Structure 1
């Protein structure tokens, strides 16, 4: 996982788990996340996207939270196992491996035990029975889920693994056999081959996300904005299947921090290229638009975003 045996998880990783906000509240479907960027937060927000895909803003009690968390985790693991099998890792009291001289003990990895299942429902049921191992403070829940993902598949691209079940290190569509200058590649590059339930949006000059990830089956997206991960979603299931709905619609945004008490509601106005010419006045878009707006515009080019009186969130 770290490229060597003498590295261990940082404090931020070790303290991360899947804990919800207060049950039966407006934000009862929301996971608490840490302020540091990347790493555990990326995994937490990817799971958050799947939770929203299951609930779509229903107020839930504590047991409902546990059920939907188990469903979100098991869905990802089942996809990672190519919908054939899945592996769940839990911490036991006994050491399962014998440490070597070049191995640094963390009193955690050495005690992992693997449980493999060949039925999707068995995975969900097992995780629900052991949900405290993933959600309680000090449980190392995010690390357990990370190990489960790796053992269910590979470690080459965790975000794609979480979203699509395929560990591709690239986010473009299909396969690439040549470079931009049409020179053949020594080795073909594999991107995303099919749509998934949850999508992915990322504003970057260097990395272009393909339409497979931009257009998921459900209007829920994991977003990468300036190295931090968040979730964008719509309550309108027809948003991705009816182009007329895309002319004006609502999106909700959650950035994962405890300071956010309600999801930000954004109104997006968008015209397709065949309807109207672009009115963009030029200039550097990074200095003119909020990073979230730039991220949204990677899916809906030229869209205008109204924050509806909410101060833009960073």
Structure 2
């Protein structure tokens, strides 16, 4: 006779197989409800499989279509938080896009807060994203620099504070910057952090298109900034890891910290927060809602309830090309100032005119004009220069922040300008000749550019020869933006070729 325990051990494999089949059926229902399909060939491991690991780790590059959105990092069950409701998900999409139809592009889904290698010349710097995500990344970068230079306790000085960072210090800086902006958006009394869970937590309402991402959101609310920062630090890979949807999660967190109702009040009759133009998603410029028609197309706006009428033009513009038709085309100008989003990041309010307006100045308008001087001095400032048109002056409170760190919008491209001397904006003697540093996020930039600013130069002698913006001598946009803060100053690039 055989081993008496053999008969009892036999059912175990059968039970495991039955359990796996049950799990597979459950996931099939979830994917089917989200409008997705499970391709059995996609999940087969080939000879090049790397073995056990996270989903997708052992798949060959050709096993998925090029436009597949990276899988988000998922929280385990029992983490807590509140699931997003169907009504809230619908209001969120309307606030972002003006309708419930559009979805984020793969470019946005792949955007995350990824640093350059630690202990390098750019260890403090985030790798810039593409298109509309660059503005958000640059604004967070400014907050990261503020923390590293003027808040963090370390024996390092000046640029050493930015370069001598390890992985842990990078994560700490990012967590602090995210928590600071969320806390400011919450009015100094609350912060909401959005993370993604494994199961779908809600089903979309009829007429609201599912994206298999927003339906998995859970909201974690904190009434203390330190607790929010600690939570973000514990889950920092959910914002910086590959496949994390980090930028979208942070944008969601920002809106929920402010609350959707208050963001809508801040916007007033302005356009939705995001534009879709030829497949590119960018942040909306102030005043876009007033321009209902451009080039014969109808622009959807939340305040006017206009509908998209682009069917006969889709074949001309390639609507949703490469994105399986997910993104309808909305021909709003792509080169726009993301006024409301940047205002929320810098001031805690999504007011389109909080940064000083984006249109042409009114006749006889003074510096700032229209109540723009009411914007208080914050920790991070804002400078702007646009060659294509005249523009309102940036609010004095943002041109002169409490600390010498500025987010710059230079001809629609976003970068960061900063100084290492905390006295620069509080002691007039420090503003005679001083140094500023510039990072624009381009791959070509391998070191931080060092500029020397001379505010007591003989600029009238230069005016006798040739104007700074004459056709024969086009000054870099950065220099013109600096002169909006220090009129007549000369800027030396110290041997570096000027760039944006």
CA distance in 2, matches of 1:284, 1:270: 15
TM-superposed CA distance for 1:226, in Å, is 1.2
Deviation per residue, 1:230-269 (Å, 9 max, x gap): 0000011111011222111101000012221111001111
Q: Indicate the SS of the match to 1:240.
A: coil
Q: What corresponds to 1:185 in structure 2?
A: none
Q: What corresponds to 2:469 in structure 1?
A: 285
TM-superposed CA distance for 1:173, in Å, is 6.6
Q: What corresponds to 1:201 in structure 2?
A: 383
TM-superposed CA distance for 1:207, in Å, is 2.8
Deviation per residue, 1:75-124 (Å, 9 max, x gap): 00000001000111001112232223422222111111111110010110
TM-superposed CA distance for 1:171, in Å, is 3.9
Q: Give 1:36-55 correspondences, 5 Å limit.
A: 36-37=130-131, 39-55=132-148
Q: What corresponds to 1:29 in structure 2?
A: 124
Q: Indicate the SS of the match to 1:27.
A: coil
Larger Rg: 2
Q: Indicate the SS of the match to 2:137.
A: helix
Among 99, 102, 112, which residue is 1:4 paired with? 99
CA distance in 1, matches of 2:198, 2:407: 36
Q: Give 1:166-205 correspondences, 5 Å limit.
A: 166-171=349-354, 180=363, 192-204=374-386, 205=390
Q: What corresponds to 2:222 in structure 1?
A: 117
Q: Indicate the SS of the match to 2:211.
A: coil
Higher strand share: 1
CA distance in 1, matches of 2:421, 2:495: 22
TM-superposed CA distance for 1:12, in Å, is 1.5
Among 231, 239, 242, which residue is 1:137 paired with? 242
Contact preservation (8 Å) 1:171, 1:191: no
Contact preservation (8 Å) 2:140, 2:177: yes
Contact preservation (8 Å) 1:81, 1:165: yes
> Please, what TM-score do these two structures have when normalized by structure 2?
0.57
Any stretches of 5+ residues in structure 2 without a counterpart?
Answer: 1-95, 150-158, 268-339
Q: Indicate the SS of the match to 1:70.
A: helix
Q: Give 1:1-314 correspondences, 5 Å limit.
A: 1-34=96-129, 36-37=130-131, 39-56=132-149, 57=159, 58=161, 59-153=164-258, 154=263, 156=267, 157-171=340-354, 180=363, 192-204=374-386, 205-271=390-456, 279-281=462-464, 283=467, 285=469, 287=471, 288-314=474-500
TM-superposed CA distance for 1:193, in Å, is 2.5
Q: What corresponds to 2:311 in structure 1?
A: none
CA distance in 2, matches of 1:280, 1:134: 49
CA distance in 2, matches of 1:173, 1:121: 32
CA distance in 1, matches of 2:244, 2:115: 14
Q: Indicate the SS of the match to 1:253.
A: strand
TM-superposed CA distance for 1:277, in Å, is 5.9
Q: Which has the higher contact order (CA 8 A, sep 6+)?
A: 1
CA distance in 1, matches of 2:252, 2:175: 16
Contact preservation (8 Å) 1:168, 1:191: no
